Amino acid sequence: MGIVHRRKPEGWDWEGVPVVPYTGPGGVCGSRRVLIGPREHARYFVLRYFELPPGCRSSLDVHPHDHGVVVLRGHARARLGSEIVEVQAGDVLYIPPMELHQFENIGEEPFGFLCVIPNKALLQRKPSEEEG
C-alpha cells in the first residue's frame, strides 16, 4: 500500500517526515527533508525537499547520477556547470550526471525545492542483482 505524508498547515513540513539540518562550509545552511525514500521502501528513487534561508546556499556538488529539481518557492542563482542562471518558483531543472551544481538564495524569502535522485542503494547493485 502507498504512503501519504500530509503537508502541515503552516510552513513546508510534512507529517512523519523529520527535518534535518543542512549545513556546511561556505554559507551552506538550511534544512532537508526526505519525503520519499528508503523509509517508505521506495526502490528506485528518493524525493527530497530542501529549504535555504535568504543568503544561504547549497553545497557545490558533482555526482555520478542525474537530478530532477522543481522550485516550489523563492528565487535563487543556480550554477549548472559553467553557467549561472536565475530560477524561481515554478521552474524545473534537469542536472545531468557529473555536472557541477549549486543553488544560492538571492531572495528575501526561503528558497524551497524538490529534488529527485536515484536510490543510491540501487545504483550500487550489480546489474545481475536487479529484478526484472
Residue-wise pLDDT tens digits, 7-53: 999 989 999 999 999 999 999 999 999 999 999 999 999 999 999 99
CATH number at residue 26: 2.60.120.10
Is 11 within the bounds of a domain?
no
Q: What is the pTM for the complete model shown?
A: 0.90
Q: Which helix (H) or strand (E) holds 68?
A: strand 67-73
Question: Of the candidates 112, 33, 31, which has an alpha carbon nearest to the alpha carbon of residue 71?
Answer: 112
Is 107 within the bounds of a domain?
yes
Residue 126 grid coordinates: 550489480
Question: Can you list the alpha helix ranges (DSSP code H) found in 7-124?
Answer: 120-123
pLDDT for position 132: 47
Is 4 within the bounds of a domain?
no
Which tens digits make up the pLDDT trace of 60-92?
Answer: 999 999 999 999 999 999 999 999 999 999 999
* pLDDT value at 2 more than 80: yes
Domain enclosing residue 99, as ranges: 20-121
